[in-house]
Amino acid sequence: MISLYPTAARSEVPQKAASLSTQIDQLIQAAQKREGVISAPRSTDAEFMRRVSLDLTGKIPPVSELRTFIADPSPQKREQLVDRLLASPGFVVHFTNVWRDMLLPELTTSLQARGQIPEFEAWLRLQFQANVPYDELARQVISTSQGANSQRQPGEVAQELTPRAYYLVKQLKPESLAAGTSRAFLGVRIECAQCHDHPFDSWKQQQFWEYAAFFSNIVQAGSNQVAAELPLMELGRPLQIKIPDTNRLVDATFLDGKKPDWEPEATSPRIRLAEWITAKDNPYFAKATANRVWSLFFGRGIVDPVDDFSSTNPATHPQLLELMANSLSANDFNLKYLIREIVNSQTYQFTSRQTDPSQIRVEWYGKMPTRGLTAEQIFANLVQATGFFRQTTDADPFLFSQATNSPESEIGDLFQKDAENQLDPRATILQALALMNGEFMVNATSLEQSDVFTAIVEFPQLTIADKIEAFYLCTLSRFPTESETKRLSEYISSAETEDERTHAYSNLFWALLNSSEFLLNH
């Protein structure tokens, strides 16, 4: 029956938009269903805490915090842990290291470039402490011009901190700055067109040099100071550059073919370049940033390698990349926002143990991939697990990290940061052997040198099983299995004297610290 009376309008309750982490999972699950991938179970609490602590702070969690987290019955404890880690000093230190290596890849090959580390690291730390929006951070790097020129001792951090090291380690070369800027902030390798038109992509040689022209006017002010301490300045001349081996002069031009619009007396051309790179309508910046952040947690980008966006290297999950880029832009390029959403996703929280053959295809994220650690992470884990070096590292992190004979530099030499992606484990056989037999590893597992080892072995109320458990928790961030406890208890109990028993515990500690489970993130 049709009523002639007006009906009351149905009140519609506005639907709350799904969180980004939920949308990430929906897109990944749809891809897995399409590809026939069966996802792994959820990680254990211990597995998750170790993983997220390594990813957000660069080191394994303290045993006391691990025990508290495992015992916590709250269903929100993982989200709460993520929030605590994002607000911790460890996050600032770790992401300073990550972005330093990304922006200054020359550090792995140039001893001269390493002299720029203290000021650049100090500047980066300030940005991460203040949670500066990433587009603003990028603009500061690209447009930096002035540096502190006050008198100071070599190696001392400048009072006026700037990111000028980005320019100095590239020796102010326009071609190096063009290549580095496009890779770091746009995710494209335009240097392939430096000598000739790119054979497989659309980049032309003229485009490369037109882009490089933005950096053609940068010099250092003259002074009697050390060159690395001099401020940068721009010459007031037309932004042009000569293409090598030709007679052609080209003008500064954005990669989209548009000419910059600025008044030379009022604005630096690199400020215009920085604004163009970070503009919300730039098709590359937000995607390149989201892709790079994703790669930090999964060992590979949605476009992989992360700095090779091209027509011949398509994204494995284009909708997901678009979603994260748009969300990052809508949230004012807040890196912590994107990081929080990624690590709170089910996709990030899968176990790394393979439970189905389909999970071997890493691009579909059926399980959490096992990833290599950086030199800084390995060193920080050794400090956390053993208590060795702790007094030294707390004294002066800048000077200690750069000392050529320091344990950290020794580990850095073993585990160079030159892997294209984290799915290539950095602990090769030779590296592992060198780590096992290094003097610092012997000291770190000795009763005289290691605070942690001494505390466990000499604690009278602990049984053999308790001590085995303590060694597992402080190294692998998990409880030993029943079979591990049984086997190791028999081994420890077989010692006939107190010295032999101490040596047996030392062997256990040494084996755990040199295990792949300790040297990898999983």
For residues 477 and 46, what is the distance between their CA atoms, to the nearest angstrom? 6
SS3 state at 241: strand
Q: How does pLDDT run across 320-368, given as a tens digit for each residue?
A: 999 999 999 999 999 999 999 999 999 999 999 999 999 999 999 999 9
Give yes or no for residue 454 having a pLDDT over 80. Answer: yes
The DSSP H or E segment spanning 76 is none
Identify any residues that bridge with 250 across adjacent strands, giving them in sequence order.
241
The pTM of this model reads 0.87
Map residue 310 onto helix, strand or coil. strand
Spatial separation of the C-alpha atoms in residues 424 and 419, rounded to whole Å: 7
55, 521 in Cβ contact below 8 A? yes
Residue-range domain boundaries for the chain: 20-89+283-370, 101-278, 372-521
CB 420 within 8 A of CB 301: no
End-to-end CA distance of the chain: 64
- Tens-place pLDDT, residues 110-152: 776 777 889 999 999 999 999 999 999 999 999 986 443 333 4
pLDDT band at 53 (very low <50, low <70, confident <90, very high): very high
- In this structure, the strands spanning 249-251 and 240-242 are antiparallel
Q: How far is the C-alpha of 195 from the C-alpha of 505, rounded, in Å?
A: 60
Question: Where do the DSSP E strands lie in 171-307?
Answer: 218-220, 232-234, 240-242, 249-251
Exposed / middle / buried, residue 6 (Cβ in 10 Å: 0-12, 13-18, 19+): exposed
What is the 8-class DSSP label of residue 42? B
